[in-house]
Each structure stands twice: as structure tokens, then as C-alpha cells.
């Protein structure tokens, strides 16, 4: 029982990270109907920016909360630049091209980003000393002590805060309204005087910033990153987006949590070696049996 | 051009420079280096400023160029001329190409290194042709093609090392196994839409690789399988000193022993396998099933309403593509005599997809040119491996942006209802 609760806590933490990445997939899919294959690598870049800023600020000796806030903002800013540029270079010229063109372009972009980071930062794994230590302990009387580390609390709380801000942004502001309008009918939205290109750019910027926060959490949580982390994390987050219903924002978060839980429970109870297989199998099963996910709208093809 | 335009484009270039600084600043400028226990940062701002300068200059030139409204005119005229030439001369090109390939091992400058590169290029050509059936003809983007390559290689290796059967029995078996896996994967997933299918095939490729790594009892895990038997020339092995009761190739033909014999034999083997793939594709395009593939690629709904079963039709494409992948895999296994899961990563799939896409989906000649270009030319810059992959990905993006149908666009259906019949 205690082991189960421990895995639950770990799964929710991991799920928060996946959920934040999944939002980027689901938003881009909602607005331009493409799978942004390079999104996982944007997350990886976010993790690297966060790591670099942690090292820089780690030398200055500023208090931890300030460091966290600064690193968060820096990672969001620089990673957003990457998201924006990728969209401008690789996807914008392809609107109206044949259906697989943006996907292939995104695949190319993903290869470029991975190898670019490999060249500029080196291929070896980058370890980081843990910034957080300690945590709350439960069930002290039993054999298995359940630990909820402060880092896990930080990750989950930050995710909830970001989700709150993000939901407000999408449901209450003009920007969010424009975005939802673009999702429904891009031509009509343009006729009503909304700058569609800008709205799409902003979508990429928001998605990338959230991915960079996930990257920062990843650095803190695992303490080690390399240029290849974006691939697996990206696939899992995409699975999360599909599971929750692609195009649906609460769905992305829900899917992220589910994928995080499935992965930790699989690793804890079934087999550690095959934990990545679990994620891929879930993806295949979900796509075959519920292609619309839990909260997605059915996709009707019109002639 | 007016002065206002120049100032405008100058401002624009400066903005580009600012963005480039934000992009390259942290990632290129601050390189993390492990030293002892922790990570430290070394600064390399020189590179950053060089890159930023290049971006500003590039953007400025593009702006000036587009102000003159000659937007990439040079690029598009060259490429359209190129494709029209090759389109007309496709047949001549094919014949000269095959003749060249046949005499290649006996040319005076051909040495061991050239042969190795040529064999590698031919392997990729074969993989490209195999994938072209799936991507080019049937229009299904398969990002896990390397899985079938792996299945072919492993089934060849396992059968050959366990039962000791000859290459010529194992080769078709490997193809059958790969095709079987193609059906196994294809059956549930082929009803998915294009981009979902791409991701699922990618996942399948990774699943196969993870299983190969972890299933120690059968695949020997990350250590791979060693001692895979070499192919023999119709029962004549390529050995310096054959076993008791065996005649080796050089003794039978009364030749001086040379390792090149085996290399040349392997070269012809892959050449023949690749040409079979090509011949098969060219023929099947004219059969009902080939027509159905192309029709499905163009319009799935129309096909359904005309009574074509999309799932079964796609399944045949998938299985046949997988089979050729399996053949190529068993060739790879017998050539290397050693295989491990490391040879079957996602990047391998991406390279094969890149070959098909760059060549122009559906164009057989395009696959050849793209393989020679991507594998051959970049082989010369082997030391710049990582830059090579950047160029690879960059080329995929550029081709999609400027010439989405590939260098040799041949995505036209082989037959049209009204219009010139081929």
C-alpha cells in the first residue's frame, strides 16, 4: 500500500511534466492541424537553457526562490524564441501544402535541433547537483516510508499555477478568444480582422514556454540531461495529448497525468526495462480504439 | 530599389540578428563542460557573433533579392530544368546507371574503400526503393521502416547461426518474417490518418528496438549477435583455406586468393537485390493493386466509394515494403557478420525517409540520386558526422519549403483519366 502511494506521488510528478509538454502539441494541433514533431526538442532546448542558467546563478549565491524564478523566466524567454523561429522557418511557408509536408519538415527540424545541441553542447550527459533536498515523510511507522520531496511539491504546485494562468489566458482574454476562433475557422477569423499569422506565432510561443518549464522541471527532477531527451519525452507527451483528446487543453493535462501514472506503475510493478514500451503500446492502443481520446471531439472527414 | 526599402530591410536584418543572438547566445555561447565533479561553463562568443553576423547578412541579401521580385528565381529555374532533363532522360539515365554499376568494381580507380561506400549506397538505395512503395506509391508515411530492416537482419542472423542454413534459404525467410511483421503492425494501424500513422510506426520501430535490447535470451541484448555466416558463391565459400571436403571460390576458379572477391560478390548481390526491388516496383505500378495504391494516395474517400478496400490495399503496400526492408536487413547482417540494436535507431529510419522525400516521393531515379548525394557525398566528410546530420535535417526542411514534391517530382499518377496516357 505504501509502495503504491509512493508510486502514485512519483507518477503525478512525472505526469505534470508530460502534461506541460503535451499542451504544446495539442495547441498546435488544434490551431493548424499538424503534429509539431520538433516540440520534444524544444523541450530539450528549454532543459539546456535552464541547466545553463542554473550553473550561472549557482555561482552567484543568490537565494534559491529567486534563482528558481529567474531561471524560469530566462528559460521561457529563450525557448520561446526557438519555438517562434521554428514556426517561421519550417511551418509557416508550408500552409496549404500537402498534408504530410509539415510533418516531414518538422521531422527535419527535430533532427537539426538535436544535432545542433549535440554539436554546441557536446554529446555527453550533463549532470547537475541537486538544488532541493529533503521532503515530507509519511507512514513512518511502517517498513516503507513514503517520501514526498519538496521538489515534487514544487513541480506539482508550479504546474497547477501555470495551468491556472494558462486557462485564464485561453478562456478569458482576447488572445485566447482569437486563438479559439482560429481553431474553428481560420478564413472566417481572418475576415473578422484577426491577425491569424500572429495568433499562430503566439500559440507556438506559449507552447514553447510551457515546454521550457517542463524542461526546467526535468533538469531538477532527474538531475541529468543530454541532447536526446526530447525524443522520448516528446513521444510520451504526444501520447498524452492523444490520450486526452488532441486539441483539448484539459485533455492534454489529464493525458499527461495518465501517462505519467502508467509509466511509473509499469516500471514499479511490471518491468523497468520495458517502461518505454508501455508508453508506446498505450499510444498504439489508444489510437486504434479511441482515436478521439477522452475529451476530444470526433473527427468527421468532409469531402 | 528605393532608399526606404533598404532602410526597411536593414532594420529587418537587425531584428533577425537580435533573434539569432537570443537563439545562439545561451546554447552555443555558453558551453557546459564536465570537469571533475560538477559542470562548468566555457564561453565561446566568437562563434556566436559569427553565426549572428551570417544571419544578418543572409536576411539582408534575401530582403534585397525579394525586393527585386526575383525571389529564389535562380533556385527554382535550376531545379525545374534539372527535373525536366532527368524526366526525359530517365530511361537513358537508368541504363547508363546500371551499366556503370555493373562495371564499377573493375574500374581502375576502384579500391576497397570505394567498394564499401558503393555497397552502403546500394543498401540505402534498396531501402529507399522499398520504402518508396509505402511512402511514394501508397502515400503512407512510415517512420519506423528500420523496424523491418531490423527484423530482417535479426531473423537472418538467428536462423543462420542456429540452424546453419545457407544465405539463399535464410534470405527469403527473413523477407517473409519482415512481411509478417508488416502485416502484424499494419493490420490494426492502417485505418489511422496519415500523421497518426507516422507516429504509430515510429513507436513500433522503437518498441522493436527496445525488445531487441532487453530480450537477452534470444537477441543477446546490446551485445548483438556475432559470427553470422558469410554468404557463399553457390556453395563455394570465400575462404583462404577451406574446410575438409570443401572447395573455396578461388580454388574452384583457379584464382589468387583475395578478400576483394567477397566484397565484389557482396556488391553484385546487393546490386541484384536492389534491381529486383526496382523492377518489382515498376511492374506492380501497372497492376491493379499498384493503381489502387496511387489512387488511395490521391483520394481515399473516392477510392472507398468505388469499392477499393483501403485497409487491405494499404496492407499489401506495407507488407511488400516490409519484405524488401527485410531482404536489405539480411544482406546487412551477412555483410557485417555482426549486428546489434545500435544499427537500428530512429535516425536510420529518418535517413531512409529523407532519401525518399528528397528524391521526390514516387520517383525511382530520385531515390538513387538522393542516396548517392546523402550517403556518398557526406561519407567524404565522415569526420563532420554531427554537422552532416544538421545538413540532413536542414535539407529536409528546405526541400519541403521550396520544392515540396522533391528534387524529381514524380508524384503524378501513372495513369490519368483525361490527359496524356503514358
> Which of B71, B95, B110 finishes a domain?
B71
> Is residue A93 classed exposed, middle or buried when 0-12, 13-18 and 19+ CB atoms within 10 A define those classes?
middle
Q: Are residues B11 and B49 in the same domain?
A: yes
Q: Could you write out the DSSP letters of every residue in B207-246?
A: HHHHHHHH-HHHH-GGG-EE-PPPP-BTTB---SSPPTT-
Share of chain A above pLDDT 90, in %: 6
Going by C-alpha positions, the residue among B343, B342, B337, B341 that lies closest to residue B161 is B337
Residue B227, domain extent: 80-402
CB-CB contact of A82 with A210 (8 Å): no
Task: Tell whether B422 is covered by a domain.
Answer: no
Q: At what angle do helices B364-371 and B90-103 cross, to 10 degrees?
A: 50
Residues from chain B contacting residue A274 (CB–CB below 8 Å): 210, 214
Task: Tell whether B407 is covered by a domain.
Answer: no
Q: Are residues B230 and B274 in the same domain?
A: yes
Distance from CA of B118 to the nearest CA of A (A): 25
CB-CB contact of A243 with A294 (8 Å): yes
Indicate the pairing of strand A135-138 with strand A126-127.
unpaired
Higher pLDDT, B93 or B88: B93
Task: Tell whether B414 is covered by a domain.
Answer: no
CB-CB contact of B360 with B410 (8 Å): yes
Q: Are residues B16 and B85 in the same domain?
A: no
Residue B23, chain A, CB below 8 Å: the answer is yes
Q: Are residues B306 and B184 in the same domain?
A: yes
- When CB atoms are compared, the residue of A48, A105, A281 closest to B396 is A105
Please write the tens of the pLDDT for every residue from A85-130.
Answer: 888 888 888 887 777 788 888 888 998 888 888 888 877 788 877 7
Q: Which three cell numbers stand for residue B126?
A: 534498396
Q: Are residues B104 and B67 in the same domain?
A: no
Q: How far apart are CA B195 and CA B140, in angstroms?
A: 9
Tell me, rounded to whole angstroms, the distance of Cα A292 from its chain centroid: 20
Indicate yes or no: CB of A115 within 8 angstroms of CB of B39.
Answer: no
Q: Are residues B61 and B93 in the same domain?
A: no
Please write the tens of the pLDDT for every residue from B297-312.
Answer: 888 888 888 888 888 8
Evaluate if residue B422 carries a pLDDT over 50: no
- pLDDT of amino acid A42: 92
- pLDDT of amino acid B421: 42
Confidence band of B74 (pLDDT split at 50, 70, 90): low
- Number of domains chain B is built from: 2
Mean pLDDT split into 10-residue runs, chain A, 303 residues: 82 89 86 85 91 81 81 89 88 79 86 86 79 74 77 88 88 86 84 88 90 90 85 86 81 88 85 79 80 69 57
Going by C-alpha positions, the residue among B22, B17, B23 that lies closest to residue B60 is B17
Q: How far apart are CA B211 and CA B341, in angstroms?
A: 9
Evaluate if residue B414 carries a pLDDT over 60: no
Q: Could you write out the DSSP letters of every residue in A55-91?
A: HHHHHHT--HHHHHHHHHHHHHHHHHHHHHHHIIIII
Task: Tell whether B261 is covered by a domain.
Answer: yes
Q: Which three cell numbers stand for residue A220?
A: 531538477
Q: Are residues B101 and B62 in the same domain?
A: no
Evaluate if residue B353 carries a pLDDT over 80: yes
Q: Are residues B107 and B41 in the same domain?
A: no
CB pairs under 8 A between A and B: 175
Going by C-alpha positions, the residue among B368, B293, B358 that lies closest to residue B127 is B368
Q: Are residues B398 and B292 in the same domain?
A: yes
Please tell us whether the domain made up of A2-289 is placed in CATH 1.10.3470. Answer: yes
CB-CB contact of B135 with B353 (8 Å): yes
- When CB atoms are compared, the residue of B38, B204, B393 closest to A111 is B393
Q: Are residues B84 and B23 in the same domain?
A: no
Distance from CA of A141 to the nearest CA of B (A): 37
Q: Which three cell numbers stand for residue A147?
A: 517520501
Indicate yes or no: CB of A94 within 8 angstroms of CB of B401.
Answer: yes
CB-CB contact of A113 with A41 (8 Å): yes
Task: Tell whether B260 is covered by a domain.
Answer: yes
Task: Tell whether B7 is covered by a domain.
Answer: yes
Residue B207, chain A, CB below 8 Å: the answer is yes
Share of chain B above pLDDT 90, in %: 5
Q: How far apart are CA B140 and CA B124, in angstroms?
A: 19
Task: Tell whether B412 is covered by a domain.
Answer: no
Q: Are residues B183 and B92 in the same domain?
A: yes
Q: Which three cell numbers stand for residue A297?
A: 471531439
Q: Are residues B204 and B311 in the same domain?
A: yes
Extract the runs of DSSP E, i.e. beta strands, from chain A.
126-127, 135-138, 146-149, 224-225
> Mean pLDDT lowest for which of A188-192, B73-77, B102-106, B346-350?
B73-77
Q: Which residues have CB under 8 Å from B373's CB, separation 6+?
A: B358
Evaluate if residue B408 carries a pLDDT over 70: no
Task: Tell whether B421 is covered by a domain.
Answer: no
Across chain B, mean pLDDT equals 79
Confidence band of B76 (pLDDT split at 50, 70, 90): low
Going by C-alpha positions, the residue among B110, B121, B380 that lies closest to residue B271 is B121
Residue A126, chain B, CB below 8 Å: the answer is yes
Residue B40, H or E segment: strand B38-43
Please write the tens of the pLDDT for every residue from B134-184.
Answer: 888 888 888 889 999 999 999 988 888 888 777 788 888 889 999 998 898
Domain ranges of chain A: 2-289
Amino acid at each position: 500500500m505504501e509502495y503504491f502511494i509512493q508510486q502514485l506521488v512519483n507518477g503525478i510528478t512525472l505526469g505534470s511534466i508530460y502534461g506541460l509538454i503535451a499542451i504544446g502539441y495539442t495547441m498546435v494541433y488544434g490551431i493548424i492541424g499538424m503534429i509539431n514533431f520538433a516540440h520534444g526538442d524544444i523541450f530539450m532546448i528549454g532543459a539546456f537553457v535552464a541547466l545553463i542558467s542554473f550553473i550561472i546563478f549557482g555561482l552567484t549565491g543568490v537565494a534559491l526562490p529567486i534563482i528558481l524564478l529567474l531561471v524560469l523566466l530566462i528559460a521561457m524567454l529563450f525557448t520561446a524564441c526557438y519555438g517562434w523561429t521554428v514556426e517561421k522557418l519550417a511551418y509557416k511557408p508550408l500552409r496549404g501544402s500537402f498534408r504530410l509536408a509539415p510533418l516531414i519538415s518538422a521531422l527535419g527540424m527535430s533532427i537539426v535541433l538535436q544535432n545542433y545541441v549535440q554539436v554546441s553542447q557536446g554529446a555527453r550527459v550533463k549532470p547537475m547537483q541537486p538544488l532541493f533536498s529533503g521532503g515530507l515523510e509519511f507512514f513512518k511507522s511502517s517498513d516503507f516510508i513514503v517520501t514526498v520531496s519538496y521538489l515534487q511539491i514544487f513541480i506539482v504546485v508550479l504546474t497547477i499555477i501555470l495551468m491556472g494562468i494558462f486557462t485564464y489566458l485561453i478562456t478569458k482574454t482576447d488572445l485566447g478568444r482569437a486563438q479559439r476562433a482560429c481553431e474553428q475557422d481560420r478564413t472566417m477569423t481572418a475576415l473578422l480582422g484577426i491577425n491569424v499569422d500572429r495568433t499562430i506565432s503566439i500559440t507556438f510561443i506559449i507552447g514553447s514556454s510551457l515546454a521550457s518549464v517542463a524542461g526546467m522541471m526535468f533538469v531538477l527532477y532527474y538531475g541529468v540531461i543530454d541532447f536526446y531527451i526530447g525524443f522520448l519525452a516528446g513521444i510520451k507527451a504526444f501520447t498524452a495529448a492523444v490520450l486526452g483528446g488532441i486539441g483539448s487543453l484539459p485533455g492534454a493535462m489529464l493525458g499527461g497525468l495518465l501517462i505519467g501514472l502508467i509509466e511509473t506503475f509499469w516500471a514499479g510493478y511490471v518491468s523497468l526495462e520495458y517502461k518505454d514500451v508501455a508508453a508506446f503500446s498505450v499510444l498504439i492502443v489508444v489510437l486504434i480504439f479511441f482515436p478521439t481520446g477522452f475529451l476530444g471531439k470526433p473527427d468527421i472527414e468532409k469531402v | 530599389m528605393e532608399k526606404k526599402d533598404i532602410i526597411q530591410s536593414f532594420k529587418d536584418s537587425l531584428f533577425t540578428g537580435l533573434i539569432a543572438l537570443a537563439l545562439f547566445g545561451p546554447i552555443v555561447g555558453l558551453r557546459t563542460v564536465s570537469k571533475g565533479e560538477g559542470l562548468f561553463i566555457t564561453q565561446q562568443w566568437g562563434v556566436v557573433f559569427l553565426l549572428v553576423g551570417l544571419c544578418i547578412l543572409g536576411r539582408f541579401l534575401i530582403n534585397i533579392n525579394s525586393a527585386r521580385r526575383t525571389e529564389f528565381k535562380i533556385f527554382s529555374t535550376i531545379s525545374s530544368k534539372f527535373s525536366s532533363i532527368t524526366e526525359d532522360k530517365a530511361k537513358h539515365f537508368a541504363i547508363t546507371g546500371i551499366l556503370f554499376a555493373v562495371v564499377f568494381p573493375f574500374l581502375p580507380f576502384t579500391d576497397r574503400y570505394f567498394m564499401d561506400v558503393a555497397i552502403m549506397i546500394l543498401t540505402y538505395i534498396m531501402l529507399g526503393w522499398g520504402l518508396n512503395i509505402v511512402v511514394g506509391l501508397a502515400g503512407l508515411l512510415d517512420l519506423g521502416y528500420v523496424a523491418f530492416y531490423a527484423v530482417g537482419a535479426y531473423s537472418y542472423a538467428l536462423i543462420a547461426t542456429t540452424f546453419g542454413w545457407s544465405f539463399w534459404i535464410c534470405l527469403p525467410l527473413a523477407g517473409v518474417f519482415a512481411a509478417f511483421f508488416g502485416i502484424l503492425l499494419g493490420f490494426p494501424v492502417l485505418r489511422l490518418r496519415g500523421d497518426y500513422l507516422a507516429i504509430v510506426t515510429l513507436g513500433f520501430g522503437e518498441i522493436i528496438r527496445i525488445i531487441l535490447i532487453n530480450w537477452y535470451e534470444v537477441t543477446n541484448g546490446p551485445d548483438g549477435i556475432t559470427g553470422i555466416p558469410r554468404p557463399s558463391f553457390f556453395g563455394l565459400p570465400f575462404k583462404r583455406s577451406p574446410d575438409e571436403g570443401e572447395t573455396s571460390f578461388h580454388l574452384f576458379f583457379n584464382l589468387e586468393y583475395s578478400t576483394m572477391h567477397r566484397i565484389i560478390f557482396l556488391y553484385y548481390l546487393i546490386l541484384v537485390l536492389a534491381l529486383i526491388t526496382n523492377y518489382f516496383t515498376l511492374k506492380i505500378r501497372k497492376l491493379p493493386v499498384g493503381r489502387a495504391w496511387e489512387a488511395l494516395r490521391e483520394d481515399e474517400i473516392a477510392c472507398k466509394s468505388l469499392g477499393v478496400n483501403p485497409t487491405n490495399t494499404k496492407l499489401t503496400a506495407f507488407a511488400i515494403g516490409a519484405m524488401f526492408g527485410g531482404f536489405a536487413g539480411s544482406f546487412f547482417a551477412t555483410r557485417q557478420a555482426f549486428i546489434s540494436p545500435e544499427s537500428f535507431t530512429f535516425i536510420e529510419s529518418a535517413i531512409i525517409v529523407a532519401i525518399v522525400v528528397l528524391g521526390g516521393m514516387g520517383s525511382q531515379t530520385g531515390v538513387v540520386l538522393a542516396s548517392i548525394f546523402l550517403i556518398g557525398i557526406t561519407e567524404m566528410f565522415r569526420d563532420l558526422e554531427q554537422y552532416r546530420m544538421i545538413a540532413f535535417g536542414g535539407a529536409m526542411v528546405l526541400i519541403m519549403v521550396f520544392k515540396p514534391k522533391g528534387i524529381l517530382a514524380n508524384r503524378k499518377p501513372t495513369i490519368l483519366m483525361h490527359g496524356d496516357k503514358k
